[in-house]
């Protein structure tokens, strides 16, 4: 399994977060042609927990839909460029146990925020969460949306990956690549 799901709010378990996370993460890596033994931790929590995490790690004491913590900085120096490969350093690989997957990072999703956004956007909850997981996985892989060129690349990849999963373009009916 690529994803290790941690459930802090039982509503995520009932919604099938583990299966959604595995499907979305596998689709993202396959689309980027990343093969190898990787691992991503995905936590399903509530708004209170994610607000604390958002305050602790980003200085923003409010809930958000998804947070990501990449294990390494793979971001490109050139705007709109492809990030570095997450393949482990051969020297680093010798130090790790052979059977251990390369950890890409951690994601956290907030139940109330995800539920509210899906309803506001008129999207099925599972489609919205799948999009957020793909979005988070791309962050773990060095993609970002701060600079325009990077945002264009990240949005295009999200649309392609979700299309491969049979899901609609999540940006079709909202303003800009990351909402209004």
Q: What pLDDT, in 10s, does the model give residues 20-73?
A: 999 999 999 999 999 889 999 999 999 999 999 999 999 999 999 999 999 999
Whether residue 153 is contained in a domain is answered as yes
Return the pLDDT at 7.
98
For the cut 60, the answer to whether the pLDDT of residue 93 exceeds it is no
Choose between 96 and 73: higher pLDDT.
Answer: 73
Contact 73, 104 (CB under 8 A): no
CA distance 111 to 47: 6
Tell me which residue of 15, 19, 14 sits closest to 1, measured CA to CA.
Answer: 19
For the cut 50, the answer to whether the pLDDT of residue 171 exceeds it is yes
For the cut 70, the answer to whether the pLDDT of residue 103 exceeds it is yes
Whether residue 175 is contained in a domain is answered as no
Choose between 87 and 151: higher pLDDT.
Answer: 151
31 is in an annotated binding site: no
Choose between 120 and 95: higher pLDDT.
Answer: 120
Choose between 173 and 159: higher pLDDT.
Answer: 159
For the cut 80, the answer to whether the pLDDT of residue 175 exceeds it is no
Residue 117 is encoded by which pair of tokens? 């956004």
Strands 38-45 and 102-110, by their bridges, are parallel
Return the pLDDT at 172.
83
Choose between 88 and 1: higher pLDDT.
Answer: 1
pTM score, two decimals? 0.90
Host domain of residue 66: 3-164
Number of domains composing the chain: 1
Torsion sign across C-alpha atoms 62, 68, 70, 76: negative
135 is in an annotated binding site: yes
CATH of the domain at 102: 3.40.390.30
Give residue-wise pLDDT tens across range 136-156: 999 999 999 999 999 999 999
Whether residue 177 is contained in a domain is answered as no
Residue 31 is encoded by which pair of tokens? 């689309």
Whether residue 174 is contained in a domain is answered as no
The full 3-state SS of the chain, as one line of letters, equals CCEEEEECCHHHHHHCHHHHHHHHHHHHHHHCCCCCCEEEEEEEECHHHHHHHHHHHHCCCCCCCEEEEECCCCCCCCCCCCCCCCCCCHHHHHHCCCCCCEEEEEEEEEHHHHHHHHHHHCCCHHHHHHHHHHHHHHHHCCCCCCCHHHHHHHHHHHHHHHHHCCCCCCCCCCCCECEC
Whether residue 178 is contained in a domain is answered as no
Whether residue 7 is contained in a domain is answered as yes
Mean pLDDT over each residue of the chain, to the nearest integer: 91
Residue 171 is encoded by which pair of tokens? 């940006």
Cβ atoms < 10 Å from Cβ of 4: 16
Q: What percent of the chain has pLDDT above 90?
A: 84
Return the pLDDT at 36.
86
Whether residue 170 is contained in a domain is answered as no
Return the pLDDT at 180.
34
Whether residue 62 is contained in a domain is answered as yes
């Amino acid at each position: 399994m690529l994803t290790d799901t941690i459930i802090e709010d039982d509503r995520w378990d009932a919604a099938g977060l583990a299966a959604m996370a595995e499907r979305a993460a596998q689709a993202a890596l396959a689309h980027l042609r990343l093969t190898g033994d990787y691992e991503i931790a995905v936590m399903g929590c509530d708004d209170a927990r994610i607000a604390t995490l958002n305050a602790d790690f980003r200085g923003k004491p409010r809930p958000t839909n998804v947070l990501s913590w990449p294990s390494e900085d793979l971001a490109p120096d050139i705007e709109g460029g492809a990030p570095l490969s997450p393949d482990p350093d051969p020297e680093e690989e010798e130090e790790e146990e052979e059977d251990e997957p390369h950890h890409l990072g951690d994601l956290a999703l907030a139940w109330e925020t995800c539920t509210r956004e899906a309803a506001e956007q008129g999207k099925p909850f599972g489609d919205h969460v799948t999009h957020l997981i793909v979005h988070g996985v791309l962050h773990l892989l060095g993609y970002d949306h701060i600079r325009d060129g990077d945002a264009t690349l990240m949005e295009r990849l999200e649309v392609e990956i979700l299309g491969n999963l049979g899901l609609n373009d999540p940006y079709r009916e909202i303003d800009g690549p990351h909402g209004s």
